[in-house]
Structure 1
Amino acid sequence: MNAPAKPLTAVIADDERLLREQLKTRLQAAWPDLQIIGEARDGNEALARADELRPDVMFLDIRMPGMTGIEAAREILALPGWQGEIVFVTAYDEYAVSAFEHGALDYLLKPVEPERLVQTAQRVKSRLARRAVPPPPTDEVALDSLLAKLSQLQQGITPRPSEPLRWIQATTGSTTKLIDVKDVLFFKSDEKYTRVQTRDQEAFIRTPIRELLPQLDPQQFWQIHRSAVVNLGAIAAVTRDDTGRQRVHIREHAEVLEVSRSFAHLFRAS
């Protein structure tokens, strides 16, 4: 006699408690055998729950404080041994939602409709049942492309300008200075500001990393973490510890920058 199938598990991530409760209630009706084993209030908690609990499916709100749902998805998909599925919960209009129809991920449009939840349950169950079969190489490419498009939609990013940013207007104490972008060693998120680090000074701007990155020359600056962008010419070395974590060492500066799993491929030996 075959043993009964193990119930599937899920984690719900949304910064609004009432929306988490609403989704949980409707999931119980549409997918009664699904076990909700955790909740998260933001992207950072979602990543922690995914790593700790290893659910079969993550329901991620796209707009969350700190780390967005899209940023959290990138980190979750890069977790070693991750085999779960991700369902985005979004308030976007039909144009943005149509991007999910590639089949790599599913979506739920707020407010969540019970009939749509039933379709989502069927789709996720089907994908989980086939997850032991290696996907074709194009799936990974399509997923990366989808996440990039969603990131642009969520953040309102415009296409990269033809001329990269040349000067940074930044504040040092009570003084505003113009800093040549070529002199910047790295940019790093610092609470409400982005730190602009040169060899002899640090300054601060209010532009977040996600808005700054499209303005920078991609041949000169690489994002290595959701909170850090480094000047390639300023890299002295990249080291790897016993856990596989990579760290970037900066020329003529003591700070060491961590490389997140999502960007580890940038420094992978060929």
Structure 2
Amino acid sequence: MKRIYNVVIIDDDQASIDNLVACLNSFQMLEIAGTARNGHLGKKIIAKNKPDLLFLDMELTDMSGIDMFNEIKNEIDWSMRVIIYSAHDKYMLQAFREVAFDYLLKPIDPLELETIISRTLEDINSELIPVAPPYIQLRSLSKDHKAFIIATPTNDLQVFHTEDIGYFKYNQERKLWEVYPCNQSPIALRRNTTAEYILKSSPEFVQIHQSCIININYLGTIKEKRCVLYPPFDQANDLIISNIFHKKLLKIFQQF
């Protein structure tokens, strides 16, 4: 069975949307999942449909296309190609620097559209995604597997992908953070490593206590204010949620 690629179009001009839809209908592998005429609605449609291709107009009624994308980019945990779609080429450089995989000018040139679609699908199909455990695959992995660089107290450097890390605990006796990777003993981090540094390194790291940060992808359930993780971290019984982080954790967990 051939793969079908979902498409979302965000453009403040309905005639332009209708024209692009008519052009895209000639590509049997594409399916229009949704359209929107402003950024506010566009963000909702993107989150709901998780498109493979996003045609994004630069000038929307309530915000610019790039501003809209920047508001949601940290929430995009699937592979999506953004094609900036505009009547002006003045945005081209900014678009390519910030969000665009490609750029389509209005009015649409059918040959140019065909080239862009071909180039985009070729890029999607050539993408190599590392094999991950099934409990991670259930939660769409980001296209770019972010690296987390660990500096130990002896200044040794180790690099892990974020999906290889289950959680972090602050060791009160040693006065430092420790990271718990897959199938390994905990590794001490350099003493000046802070919770803020860990949290900023990936949106997948979520604090549940002053002395504990988990990888939200491994969170299986919350039981009596305790996090129960998927294997291989299911034997960790001390991942207690403090009151100040409980509400935020529940909100994040419900979005996964």
State TM-score, norm by structure 1. 0.46
State TM-score, norm by structure 2. 0.48
